[in-house]
């Protein structure tokens, strides 16, 4: 089965406090969030982390990677709401039972195919089901469409076919990246090695 997921993204919010205030004001429940900014010696903001939560304020505690790793100056947070319908019936057992399948798959597809640096574990594994993901962007008033993507690396469209184990990442305007089965395997292996190396270095 292929899941079709449309995510409406709102932002940017310049701090965790601003993003949390928007979630409360608009009554969002289960959401995705994307954090962009600089880490370490970076001078150009990059997409760094995607997550899901039902309690943003509680999730974004002082130990969260977004709070501890991304520089406060230039931090941008986007809140994502799945606007497509979930498939009815029992939740798949291989997905996180606390969240709906579309939200799980959206997080997984973004973390893996964009190889988001701070999603250490999720960028090591392909999505668990076939998924077609469409991203749409809105301004902070949640009514006005944004004419430009928030970041050049953030694609309009991600597709993963679990049967053939291939995928595509598409940016409107002509840019496209195809993931063959071998490239997906290489991506998993490279991300896993980077994670092991980071853990080994931290334990030294």
- Enclosing domain of residue 146: 2-203
How far is it, in rounded angstroms, from Cα 107 to Cα 34?
9
> Domains in the chain: how many in total?
1
Query: If the chain, 204 residues long, is cut into consecutive pieces of 10 residues, what is the mean pLDDT of each piece?
Result: 93 94 91 95 96 90 90 95 63 61 95 96 95 96 91 97 96 90 96 92 81
The whole-number pLDDT of residue 94 equals 56
CB atoms within 10 A of CB 13: 21
Instruction: Give the pLDDT confidence score for residue 7 in this predicted structure.
Output: 96
For every residue of 105-155, DSSP letters joined together read HHHHHHHHHTT-TT-TTGGGS--SSEEEEEEEEE-TTSSSBPSS-SSTTS-
**Which residue from 91, 78, 56 is spatially nearest to 12, judged by alpha carbons?**
78
| pLDDT at site 84 | 76
φ, ψ for residue 130, nearest 5 deg:
-65, 140
19 touches 77 (CB < 8 A)? yes
- Other Cβ atoms less than 10 A from the Cβ of 176: the count is 12
Helical spans, DSSP H, in the chain: 16-26, 56-59, 65-69, 101-113, 181-203
pLDDT at 69: 94
């Amino acid at each position: 089965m292929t899941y079709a997921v449309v995510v409406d993204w709102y932002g940017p919010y310049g701090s965790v406090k601003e993003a949390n205030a928007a979630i409360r004001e608009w009554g969002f429940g289960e959401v995705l969030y994307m954090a962009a900014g600089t880490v370490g010696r970076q001078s150009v903001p990059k997409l760094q982390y995607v997550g899901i939560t039902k309690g943003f304020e509680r999730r974004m505690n002082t130990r969260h990677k977004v709070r501890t790793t991304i520089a406060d100056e230039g931090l941008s947070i986007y809140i994502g709401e799945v606007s497509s319908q979930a498939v009815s019936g029992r939740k798949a057992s291989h997905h996180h039972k606390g969240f709906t399948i579309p939200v799980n798959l959206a997080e997984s597809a973004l973390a893996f195919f964009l190889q988001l640096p701070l999603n250490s574990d999720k960028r090591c594994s392909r999505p668990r089901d076939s998924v077609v993901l469409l991203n749409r962007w809105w301004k902070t008033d949640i009514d006005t469409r944004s004419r430009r993507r928030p970041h050049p690396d953030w694609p309009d469209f991600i597709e993963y076919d679990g049967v053939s184990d291939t995928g595509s990442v598409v940016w409107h305007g002509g840019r496209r990246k195809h993931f063959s089965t071998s490239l997906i395997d290489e991506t998993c292996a490279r991300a896993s090695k980077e994670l092991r190396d980071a853990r080994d270095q931290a334990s030294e």
